[in-house]
Amino acid sequence: MIKSNPLAVVLVTVLFLCALASSLFSLNWYLGVKELESIEYQARSLSRISAAMQSLANEAVDYGRRNPAIDPVLLQFDLKPRQAGTPAAVQPPLKPAR
């Protein structure tokens, strides 16, 4: 018969726990990298969208210099500074109370 060695049992248990902890840390790292990649992708998307919107706004302001009919839209989105007499917002007429 083979006698069980308590030191061997302890060492195998420690080895198992170290392997388990290493696996959990690796999984945590892997999931963190995946989340970071997702956030970086979203940041690049938002950057591209922001650049496209800024380009569109610049083109609209440039077009507004040649055609003042677009001024209400430019003023609505604060793309053009307001003149001294220009109201901040156009209010619809109020309905009379009955």
User: In the prediction, which pLDDT does 82 show?
Assistant: 79
Assess if residue 88 is contained within a domain. no
Pick the closest to residue 76 from 86, 89, 61 (CA basis): 89
Cβ-contact 55, 61 below 8 angstroms: no
Assess if residue 13 is contained within a domain. yes
pTM of the model: 0.59
Assess if residue 45 is contained within a domain. yes
For CA atoms 74, 77, 78, 79, the dihedral sign is negative
User: In the prediction, which pLDDT does 22 show?
Assistant: 98
Number of separate domains in the chain: 1
Mean pLDDT by 10 residues, the chain (98 residues): 84 97 98 98 98 94 91 88 64 56
Residues counted in the chain: 98
Assess if residue 51 is contained within a domain. yes
User: In the prediction, which pLDDT does 53 show?
Assistant: 95
Nearest-5° Cα angle at 66, 61 to 69 = 80
Tokens representing 40 are: 């970086």
Assess if residue 55 is contained within a domain. yes
Helix, strand, or coil here: 40?
Answer: helix
Assess if residue 44 is contained within a domain. yes
Assess if residue 16 is contained within a domain. yes
Containing domain of residue 52, as a range? 7-64
User: In the prediction, which pLDDT does 44 show?
Assistant: 98
User: In the prediction, which pLDDT does 86 show?
Assistant: 53
